[in-house]
Amino acid sequence: MFDPAYDSCDAPDAARVERLAAALPAPLAELLREELAAGNRVLAIESGHPAPPVGVCVILQQPALALAALPAEALPARGLVHRRWPGHVQPSGWTDAKGHCFLLEPAVESPAGAAAAPSPDPAAVAPAAAGAAVVDEDLQLRARARLGPSEAMRAWDASRVIDHERWREGTGYDLDALARMTPAERSSVETSLLHGIRDWRDVQALAALDTPRARAALRRTLDEGSDALRMAVLREAPHLVPADADGSAARTRALVQALATAELYGGLSQALVEVETFHPPAVMDALWRGLRERDGGTAVHFAATLSYLHGVASEPFDWSQRPFFLRFRTEDAAERAAAIAELRRRLALPAD
C-alpha cells in the first residue's frame, strides 16, 4: 500500500516524485526516471482505476517519450506491459506483469480532418511519438483537477472502518456514497470487494453494484460460502438464488445447512429470520432435528421458532413463554426428550 506522503497529489514536486519512484516496481521506476530525464513530467498521482487499492496511478503529461523509438518486441525484456482503456480520461498506460501500479498517458485525439485509425493491439504496440499526438486539453485539465479520492470515495472508505458501535448496531457500508461514485471508482471498489467477501456488508455492497462480476461472485458465495455469507446472499440478493420448478430448492438447501451447523452469531440468527417467512417441509424437519441433536442454547431458539410457526406464540421469541423454552437448555437426553414431548403436545402434534 502506498504511503499518503506521496499518494493522491496534484502537480507533485520533485521530492515527492522521487519518493514515488523509489516505491514503484523496478520496471516502472526506471521508465519514470527516463521520462523525467527526457522532459516529460508528472501531472498527478492518483488512486483508483486502473490500479487496485494496493497500487497507484501516475499521470504523465505526454506519452512515454523514452519508449517511442523502441520496437514492440523490446518491451517484454524491460518488464513493461502496455494497456488501453478506451473511453476513460487516461485511455492507455504502462504497467508491469503484476499490474498494481501504472504510468498513465494523457488522452489524445486525431488532428482535425484526419481519418480515425484502427485500434492497435495493446499488447504489441508502443505509443506514438510525442510529436504526433495532440493533447486533449479539456481532459488534461480534468486530470489536474483531481486532488485524490473524491468525496464519495472518502465517505465510502470511512464507512468500511467497522468500530464497535457500527458492529453492535449492524451498520453497513455507505451505499449512498457508492451510488455517487464515478464508474471508474465503482470499478475500483468492486475489485477490492471481490478480493475477499468477508461478511454481510460485502455481500450487500456487491448486491448494490449488481454487475456481472458481482452477481457471479454472489452466486459462488451461495454455493461455497460460510453459513453466514449464504444467509446474507439470501437476504441481500434473493433474485440471484437459482430456482427449480417451485423456486425454492437452493434457498431450502442453504437454510437446512445453516440450521444444522451455523452458530448463533455466525449465520444462525439470520437463518431463523428467513425461516419466519420461508419454511417448507425440509426446513421444518431441520428445526425438529436440531431440537433433538443440537446444543441446548440452539435448541431454545428452535423451540421458540417452532412455537411461532405453529401459531402458539405471538412472536418469533415469545418472552412470556421463555421459562418453557429454557427447558431445552440441557444436554441430558431424557430431559430434552421430555421437553420435546411437551412442545408437541402444546402444538397439538402426535408424539414423536
Q: What is the pLDDT of residue 71?
A: 67
pLDDT confidence of residue 250: 74
Nearest to 17 by CA among 49, 45, 39, 46: 45
In this predicted structure, the answer to whether residue 123 has a pLDDT above a threshold of 70 is no
Give the model's pLDDT for residue 88: 65
Pairing of strands 134-135, 108-109: antiparallel
Mean residue pLDDT of the chain comes to 79
User: Given a cut of 90, is residue 144 above it in pLDDT?
Assistant: no
Residue 324 has pLDDT above 90, yes or no: yes
Q: Is the per-residue pLDDT at 145 higher than 50?
A: no
Confidence of residue 147 (pLDDT cuts 50, 70, 90): very low
pLDDT of amino acid 107: 64
User: How high is the pLDDT of residue 288?
Assistant: 94
User: What pLDDT does residue 70 have?
Assistant: 67
pLDDT at 68: 66
pTM: predicted TM-score of the whole model, two decimal places = 0.45
pLDDT digits (tens, 9 = 90+) for 55-97: 888 888 888 877 766 666 677 788 888 888 765 666 788 888 8
pLDDT of 6 strictly over 90: no
Q: What is the DSSP string of 3-31?
A: -TTTSSEES--HHHHHHHHHHS-HHHHHH
Q: What is the pLDDT of residues 25-62, one digit of tens each?
A: 999 999 999 888 888 888 888 877 788 877 888 888 88
* 131 vs 302: which has the higher pLDDT: 302
Per-range mean pLDDT, top range of 39-53, 81-95, 237-251, 290-304: 290-304
Burial annotation 197-227 (CB, 10 A radius, 16+ → b, else e): beebbbbbbbbbbeeeebbebbbebbeebbb
Residue 225 has pLDDT above 80, yes or no: yes
Alpha helices in 237-313 (DSSP H): 249-261, 269-277, 281-293, 296-309
- The C-alpha cell at 346 is 402444546
Query: Is beta strand 9-10 parallel, antiparallel or unpaired with respect to 42-46?
Result: antiparallel
CA end-to-end span of the chain, whole Å? Answer: 60
Look at 198 and 326; give whichever has higher pLDDT. Answer: 326
287 pLDDT band, cuts 50/70/90, is very high
Domain range list for the chain:
9-145
Average pLDDT over residues 13-20: 85
Q: In percent, how much of the chain has pLDDT > 70?
A: 80
- DSSP-based three-state secondary structure for 207: helix
User: How are strands ordered across the β-sheet holding 92-95?
Assistant: 9-10, 42-46, 56-60, 101-105, 92-95, 81-84
Mean predicted confidence (pLDDT) in 145-172 = 76
For residue range 172-221, list pLDDT tens digits in order.
999 999 998 888 888 888 888 887 888 889 999 999 999 999 999 998 88
pLDDT cut 90: percent of the chain above it:
25
Instruction: Indicate the range of 28-32, 241-245, 247-251 predicted with least confidence.
Output: 241-245
Contact 275, 283 (CB under 8 A): yes
